Copies of this chain bind each other. A is one copy, B any other.
């Protein structure tokens, strides 16, 4: 009926193209390399998806098989390399992803949409737990950065997405903590919702700026 509305959308393909810029590889090796370099926190590396993605890239002519070897009686490995076309698209794709922010739908924001459903106490409690996990993740990531970039093993530019993630998590942590505080001191007013014949109404805050002050 029609075709290929907009290239390949899974960013795992971006990772594949990036790796094949360095040297030809077989898919399993790609997955292993991505994990080694901690790129698996930026790309969802899933063996099933990986093989599908590689096939899609071949269909589009962005990469091509260069060799199928077999080591003993292990499964046959197909080694792929990029094409000129693939390298061009790689750069164009990165450029486009950087330039245009696209709508994303993080699970956390979905849950925050219905924060009200938990009631103030349970909501605050849940956010406290999240804050703890976030703080821990931030600390772990700082450790990773320290013994890769920090110790000069890897140039900073090669781990720049980790700094980006760190910044995002720190912001989320800050928002979470601020919101906990606002729930606790009552400055985030928690309306009581009631159904009347006219529809839904909610109680208004008793004073203009929050209840307590």
Contacts and interface: CB of A to CB of B under 8 A. Distances in A.
Interface of A: 11, 14-15, 18, 21-22, 39, 41-44, 90-91, 93-95, 97-118, 122-123, 126-127, 129-130, 133-134, 137, 155-158, 160-161, 163-165, 167-172, 174-175, 179, 188-191, 195, 200, 202
Contacts of A15: 110, 113
A172 B168 contact: yes
A169 B172 CA distance: 10
A20 to B, nearest CB: 12
A146 to B, nearest CB: 17
Which 10 A-B pairs give the minimum distances between C-beta atoms? A171-B171, A97-B111, A11-B110, A98-B126, A113-B161, A112-B161, A99-B129, A167-B175, A155-B191, A98-B111
Contact of A118 (B95, B110, B202): B95
A164 B112 CA distance: 8
Contact of A108 (B98, B126, B172): B98
A18 B103 CA distance: 22
Contact of A114 (B94, B100, B167, B169): B94
25 contacts: A11-B105, A11-B107, A11-B111, A14-B111, A22-B195, A22-B200, A41-B103, A42-B110, A93-B111, A94-B111, A94-B114, A95-B122, A97-B110, A98-B111, A99-B129, A99-B130, A100-B130, A100-B133, A101-B130, A106-B106, A109-B164, A115-B157, A157-B191, A164-B179, A167-B175
